[in-house]
Amino acid sequence: MSVPAGSLIHMFDGQRGRDRGAGHPGPTPARPTSVDIARWRVAVADLDRDVPDAERVDQLRALEELKAAASAAQARIAVDLDASQRRAQAAAGVPAARRGQGVGAQVALARRESPARGGRLLGLAKALVLEMPHTFAALAAGSISEWRATLLVRESACLSVADRAALDAELWADPQGLERMGDRRLVARARAVAYRLDAAAVVRRARKAEGERGVSLRPAPDTMTYLTGLLPVAQGVGVYAALTRAADALRAQGDGRSRGQLMADTLVERVTGQARAADVPVEVQVVMTERTLLTGDDEPAAIPGYGTVPAEWARELVKERTGTPKGTGTPGPGEARVLLWLRRLFTAPGTGQLVAMDSRRRIVPPGLARFVGVRDQLCRTLWCDAAIRHRDHVVAHAEGGATTAENLQGTCEGCNYAKAAPGWRARILPAADQRAGPGGHVVETTTPTGHRYASHAPALPGHTRPAPRAASLLPRETGSGVERALADYPWTA
């Protein structure tokens, strides 16, 4: 099937009541359903590619406008879902303060987003549909993107409903001028109008932002991380200036590291109190096979909360922790030896999943909590990459669910609380169920609308191995620095 760009609009006409003769309008087309929308997706995926460049540019514009219109439709649908779920919760006797709980998580699952982003998308939808009709109309018409609509909602968040409506009307008094603005000019224009409408609210917003200061950590490529501090501007500038001065002073003394490296190392040393950034004595849970650790195998390791890391990098980390960098032997004078603990974990040969632990208590004991954290690595909710904060009973303890590894899953706080709303259900899929895939720990979550989502625990290192090499699996470096160091350290089960 090949669909010319000129047919983009016509292919969205409903299949029913579409054939109208001149002067004979015929019946009103039925409004599209999810099945019709799925057909559009198939049609758009097969546009005619044998067209002039001018037509390609027209296709790009038409599809961009279609994306914006689809975002507007999603916003309206989300608002309707929220209203319907709140009515159902009210009928079920849910207190008013808890109504709406879990709706953002349903939006997130449907849009394949994290629950945190799902909540923000629901808030954006309610602001657009209920409080900013001009911005919503522009989005539905394809005049602005979802991101630019988000900017306008964000800059008006501190205003009252009446002032937000006034800002919306004033901004769109000149729609062509607004559409031609870049993001920075659009934000500046919205801020100016907001300040004129309610300067005190803008000032209160700035003061409130100081209360939201914090520090976050997220993975970066190549075994690095982003450590981000959200600080008041004066404090942030002061920290950066102090790190810059320290780096410049060290470079003046002949230190060969770059300014960026010196600033990063100084930050670590001042925060942790260590003399060297590399000596930080914190727990980093590196999960690797004994083949990777002792025989030079290429099976990657894993760090819970981060992801996969190269085998060689994991081995070097162990060497550094034992105070024998690059395997050169014993620590030199003044070099601290950092304690290394190795914990044995056993996996099932067929699935790569950890062998189970259990407890008779409702509260998850530390050993079992650590076990679940290593197995699940991140929040088990689909598309949620948040760190594990709770060990949640899949079948609630009040309903007879046991405190076992099989009946526990690692979740973030938001996902755990969302599933406490009425209508959410979860169960462990048996291995015989085809939806369980190749095996392992699989949790199926059912939302209040009946949609089902299956979450698979990731297989740990050693489950899927690369092709064996010709060399023997026996240690190639008998009596290496790593092996000698391991002999001095305790093993804990």
Length of the chain: 493
In a domain, 351, yes or no: no
In a domain, 285, yes or no: no
User: Could you tell me the pLDDT band of residue 479, with boundaries at 50, 70 and 90?
Assistant: very low
Within this chain, do residues 76 and 15 fall inside the same structural domain, yes or no? no
The listed range with the strongest mean pLDDT (4-18, 179-193, 267-281, 399-413) is: 179-193
* Percent of the chain clearing pLDDT 70 (strictly above): 72
Strand blocks (E) in 231-327? 301-303, 307-309
User: Could you tell me the pLDDT band of residue 439, with boundaries at 50, 70 and 90?
Assistant: low
In a domain, 350, yes or no: no
305 pLDDT higher than 70: no
Within this chain, do residues 172 and 236 fall inside the same structural domain, yes or no? no
* DSSP string covering 123-137: HHHHHHHHH-HHHHH
Within this chain, do residues 161 and 78 fall inside the same structural domain, yes or no? yes
Alpha-carbon separation of residue 450 from 39, 253, 409, 447 (angstroms): 23, 67, 21, 5
pLDDT at 176: 92
Q: What is the mean pLDDT of residues 389-399?
A: 89
pLDDT at 360: 53
pLDDT at 60: 94
Within this chain, do residues 181 and 105 fall inside the same structural domain, yes or no? yes
pLDDT at 486: 40
Within this chain, do residues 310 and 420 fall inside the same structural domain, yes or no? no
435 pLDDT higher than 60: no
**Buried residues in 17-26 as b, exposed as e (16+ CB within 10 A):** eeeeeeeeee
Phi, psi angles (nearest 5°) of residue 252: -65, -25
In a domain, 464, yes or no: no
Supply angle C-alpha 287, 290, 292, rounded to 5: 75
**Buried residues in 165-178 as b, exposed as e (16+ CB within 10 A):** bbbbeebbeeeeeb
Mean per-residue pLDDT of the chain: 80
Domain extent, residue 483, equals 290-345+471-492
pLDDT tens, residue by residue, 82-141: 999 999 999 999 999 999 999 999 999 999 999 999 999 999 999 999 999 999 999 999
pLDDT at 482: 42
In a domain, 97, yes or no: yes
CB distance 473 to 289 below 8 Å: no
Within this chain, do residues 140 and 32 fall inside the same structural domain, yes or no? no
In a domain, 466, yes or no: no
In a domain, 462, yes or no: no
324 pLDDT higher than 60: no
pLDDT tens, residue by residue, 64-93: 999 999 999 999 999 999 999 999 999 999
Reference 424, options 121, 107, 117, 105; nearest CA is 105
Within this chain, do residues 71 and 191 fall inside the same structural domain, yes or no? yes
246 pLDDT higher than 90: yes
Single out the residue in 210, 236, 255 at which a domain terminates.
210
Within this chain, do residues 296 and 319 fall inside the same structural domain, yes or no? yes
pTM: 0.69
Within this chain, do residues 362 and 339 fall inside the same structural domain, yes or no? no
Within this chain, do residues 64 and 157 fall inside the same structural domain, yes or no? yes
Reference 173, options 187, 189, 153; nearest CA is 189
Single out the residue in 187, 210, 233 at which a domain terminates.
210
Going 388 to 393 to 395 to 396, the CA torsion angle's sign is negative
250 pLDDT higher than 90: yes
In this structure, of 44-58, 150-164, 181-195, 268-282, the range with the lowest mean pLDDT score is: 268-282
CA pair distance 384, 240, nearest whole angstrom = 32
Phi, psi angles (nearest 5°) of residue 184: -65, -45
pLDDT at 27: 63
Within this chain, do residues 116 and 184 fall inside the same structural domain, yes or no? yes
Reference 124, options 190, 75, 184, 73; nearest CA is 75
**Count: domains in the chain:** 5
Phi, psi angles (nearest 5°) of residue 459: -70, 140
Q: What is the mean pLDDT of residues 390-411?
A: 89
Strand blocks (E) in 332-451? 342-343, 358-359, 390-393, 403-404, 408-411, 425-428, 442-446
In a domain, 352, yes or no: no
pLDDT at 344: 57
CB distance 457 to 372 below 8 Å: no
Within this chain, do residues 395 and 257 fall inside the same structural domain, yes or no? no
